[in-house]
Amino acid sequence: MTLNEKTNNYLPEQCAYAKRVQAILAERGVQNPQAHIVTFGCQQNVSDSERIKGMLLLCGYSLTEDITKADFILFNTCAVRGHAEDRVYGNVGATKKYKKANPNLLVSVCGCMAQQQSVADKFYKSYPYVDIVFGTQQHHRLPEFIYRRLTSKRVYELTLDNANIVEHVPISRDGTLKGWLPIMYGCNNFCTYCIVPYVRGRERSRDPQEIIKEATDMVNNGFKEIMLLGQNVNSYGKGESHGVNFAKLLRMINDIEGDFRIRFMTSHPKDCTEELLDTIRDCKKVERHIHLPFQSGSSKILKQMNRYYDREGYLKLIAAARERLPDVEFTSDIIVGFPGETYEDFCETLSLVKEVKFTSLFTFIYSPREGTPAAVMPDPISREEKGKWFDELLKTQDEISKELNLSLVGKTVRVLCEEKTSEGLICGKSEYYSSVCFEGSDDMIGNFVAVRIEKYHNNTLYGAVIN
Ligand code: 5AD
Ligand code: SF4
Q: Give me the DSSP letters along 4-29.
A: -S--TTS-HHHHHHHHHHHHHHHHTT
Query: Which one of the ligands is nearest to 231 CA?
Result: 2
Query: Whats the size of the chain, residue-wise?
Result: 467
For residue 8, the model assigns a pLDDT of 67
For residue 132, the cross-strand partners are: 108, 155
Q: Tell which atom from ligand 2 comes closest to the C-alpha of 200.
A: 6
Pairing of strands 155-157, 132-134: parallel
Provide the CATH number for the domain formed by 412-465 in this structure.
2.40.50.140
What is the value of pTM for the model shown?
A: 0.95
Long-range contacts of 383-386 (CB under 8 A, 24+ apart): 383/337, 385/337, 386/336, 386/337
The predicted pLDDT at position 85 comes to 85
Residue 291 CA to ligand 1 center (angstroms) comes to 14
Does residue 340 line the site of ligand 2, with CB under 6 A?
no
- Report how far residue 171's alpha carbon sits from residue 442's, in angstroms, rounded to the nearest whole number: 28
pLDDT digits (tens, 9 = 90+) for 296-313: 999 999 999 999 999 999
Gap from CA of 187 to ligand 2 centroid (Å): 6
pLDDT for the residue numbered 7: 57
pLDDT score for 215: 98
User: Can you give the pLDDT at residue 186?
Assistant: 96
Pairing of strands 34-39, 62-63: parallel
| DSSP states along 171-218 | ---S-SSEEEEE-EE------TT--HHHHH-S-EEPPHHHHHHHHHHH
Dihedral sign of CA atoms 292, 296, 300, 305 in order = negative
Return d(Cα 234, Cα 247) in angstroms, integer: 8
pLDDT at res. 1: 41
Helix extents (H) in 237-338? 246-254, 274-282, 299-305, 311-324
What would be the CATH architecture of the domain defined by 173-406? Alpha-Beta Horseshoe (3.80)
Pocket of ligand 1 (CB under 6 A): 80-81, 193-194, 293, 295, 333, 335, 364, 366-367, 369
Q: Where are the domains of the chain?
A: 2-157, 173-406, 412-465
What is the identity of the amino acid at 81? Answer: R
Low-confidence ranges of the chain (pLDDT < 50): 1-6
CA 101, distance to chain mean position in Å, is: 34
DSSP 406: H
Distance CA 182, CA 205 (A): 9
- Cα dihedral value 419, 420, 426, 432, nearest 10: -30
Ligand 1 center–CA 203 separation, angstroms? 18
Instruction: Please identify, by atom number, the ligand 2 atom nearest to the C-alpha of residue 295.
Output: 7
Fold match, 173-406 / 412-465: no
Which ligand 2 atom is the nearest neighbour of the CA of 266?
A: 4
Instruction: Determine the CATH number of domain 2-157.
Output: 3.40.50.280
* Best CA proximity match to 400, nearest among 329, 450, 344, 464: 329
CA 396 → CA 291, 309, 399, distances in Å? 19, 24, 5
Gap from CA of 50 to ligand 1 centroid (Å): 24
- 3 state SS of 456: strand
CA distance to 223, 280, 363, per residue, from 247 (Å)? 22, 8, 28
187 close to ligand 2 (CB < 6 Angstrom)? yes
Instruction: For residue 150, count other CB atoms closer than 10 A to its CB.
Output: 17
Q: Using CA atoms in the order 399, 400, 403, 408, what is the torsion angle rounded to 10 degrees?
A: -140
Instruction: Give the position, in ligand 1's atom list, of the atom nearest the Cα of 372.
Output: 10
